[in-house]
Amino acid sequence: MIFILLIVLLVFIVYLNKNFYLKKNNAKYPNGPLVLPIIGSLYRVSFKTPHLSFKNLSQQYGKIFSIKMGCVETIVINDISILQKTFRDKPTIFQQRFWLPSFYNVGEYRDIVFSNGPYWREIKSILKNSLTKTKSRSMEDLFNSECSKAEQYIMKKIKENNNIVDMMKTTKRLLLNIMVKFLFNISFEYDDGSLSKEIFDFVKSYNLIFEYLAKQPGDFIPLLRPFDTHDKIAKEYSNLLKFFTPFIDETLKNIDKENPKCFLEYLLIEIERDPNSMIKPESIPHICFSIIVAGSDTTGTTLEWMILYLSNYPNIQEKLHCEINSSHHPTLKEKKNYPFLRAVINETLRISPPAPFALPHICSEDTIVSFNGHDYFFPKYTQIIPNLYGANRNENEFDDPNTFNPDRHPSSTASHVSYSSGPRSCPGENMADDILFVVSTRLYKYFKFERTTNQLYDEYGVLTKTLTPKDYLSKVTFRS
């Protein structure tokens, strides 16, 4: 009897392992680890560091491999060229978001990040238009004024705390302020302003939502759905939306239709102008939330990583300081005159992409992806994970990929895919690059950042909402 059961189980396991038999024309379903009943190949994925698991699996199974995550058929892409070719050459097939059941609780698919179809196209195009290069450039004043507030805060902390400053907290706050100003034209003070409690509650709910989202076993294993806590996500999310209500009301009252001063005014004008618009007033808080989430933590984390690497490698920090330390302050128009700063930004984004595996896409039709003489079969409804971390650290593409080395970027071409690729790629890329440029030209001109210990700061980080450094403090000195 046991023998028969074992045979049945074995047959079942072979049946589950698509890579043994699934083909279309001559294209083969990508290889991957053994699939077990119920859990699939989840036994090969660390939930704390999935990006590292994917990277290790790609060394075993190739740049494109398959992995069944519980009940979800998944293909992971771990190479810059394959990723760009796949997402750009077949834009319509790969542009939809893969929906895990828990995603609905954040935005009800009315935001930008998780929505799909014509609604997503409409809102993404409005955001992109409001962020065209020229408009983003006109935000230079906004970035400079928020940055000068951050500098005053750093100076205050230098005096109060004997030069020891929590730069992680400071950059988080700076980016939250920039994004709120961009969305609502509202500015926050750093210390004890009347809005501090609201911001504190907002950040608390926002962190909790992401903690809960990471712990929904039913997303992958339907048998475990009773252990999901969607109600907690929904409750925190509705708390969080309250943060936006006063700003939205204020903007509605003072809207200047001829001369929109912030994204929300621009959005309201666009909706009113188009009688067929699919965006309803109830969707506005969801849209605002997704832009804040997508824009602030990613860009803030990149600044945190940059300070960490430049504290670990003081020679690189000095070389950067020399490039930007002139009496004339660099402006965005002069970006190309600062190749080393751009190389430092690109290298930081390459080695520590804030969104290490972006967000899942879905393959919406059976299709074949050809690369380097191999044809890979991507079946309809497969989840597609772009492993940006693995692609950016690919040994075949970069010498010594785990070492922070800005000199590897000799030209202005960005050699990383940290903003992903194709129609679903980051619409905030230019804005983020401009913020990183403006903030860095100021921080590394006026301040010197050092470690508070003799040991190098940890360069692996932890995965929370983004791939972020482990907490560190900085010794900050004002360069007179």
Q: Residue positions in the annotated binding site for heme?
A: 426
Among 99, 426, 445, 459, binds ligand HEM (CB under 6 A): 426
| Residue 171 binding ligand HEM, by CB under 6 A | no
Query: Among 420, 440, 468, 474, which residue interacts with ligand HEM (rule: CB under 6 A)?
Result: 420
The count of C-alpha atoms lying within 13 angstroms of the C-alpha of 252, restricted to the half-sphere facing its C-beta, is 11
CA 248 to chain centre: 25
Residue 424 contacts ligand HEM per CB under 6 A:
yes
Minimum Å gap between C-beta 4 and ligand HEM is: 46
Residue 110 is encoded by which pair of tokens?
A: 């009315």
The single-letter code of the amino acid at 125 is S
Q: For residue 124, state whether it binds ligand HEM (rule: CB under 6 A).
A: yes
- Other C-beta atoms within 10 Å of 362: how many? 17
Dihedral sign from CA coordinates of 33, 34, 35, 39: negative
Q: Is 113 in the site for ligand HEM (CB under 6 A)?
A: yes
| Nearer residue to ligand HEM within complex by CB, 28 or 465 | 465
Between CA 394 and CA 388 the distance in angstroms is: 10
Length, in residues, of the chain: 480
Report the distance separating Cα 295 and Cα 7, nearest Å. Answer: 52
Interaction of residue 355 with ligand HEM, rule CB under 6 A: yes
Question: Does residue number 209 form part of the binding site for ligand HEM (CB under 6 A)?
Answer: no
Judged on CB neighbours under 10 Å (0-12, 13-18, 19+), 51 is buried
Q: How far is CA 132 from CA 28, 126, 290, in A?
A: 41, 10, 19
Using CB under 6 A, pick the residue from 30, 330, 406, 428 that binds ligand HEM: 428
- Written as six digits, the tokens of 187 are 């500015």
Strand pairing partners for 451? 474
Per CB under 6 A, the list member of 33, 330, 386, 461 interacting with ligand HEM is 386
Write down the least CB distance from residue 11 to ligand HEM, Å: 38
Strands 474-478 and 467-468: unpaired
Among the residue ranges 53-61, 101-109, 428-436, 439-447, the one whose residues contact ligand HEM (CB under 6 A): 428-436
Which of 250-258, 287-295, 307-315, 323-331 is the region at the interface with ligand HEM (rule: CB under 6 A)? Answer: 287-295
Of residues 324 and 431, the one with the C-beta less far from ligand HEM: 431
Which of 32, 107, 354, 406: binder of ligand HEM (CB under 6 A)?
Answer: 354
Q: Enumerate binding residues for ligand HEM (CB under 6 A).
A: 112-113, 124, 290-291, 294-295, 298-299, 302, 354-355, 358-359, 386, 418-420, 424-428, 431-432
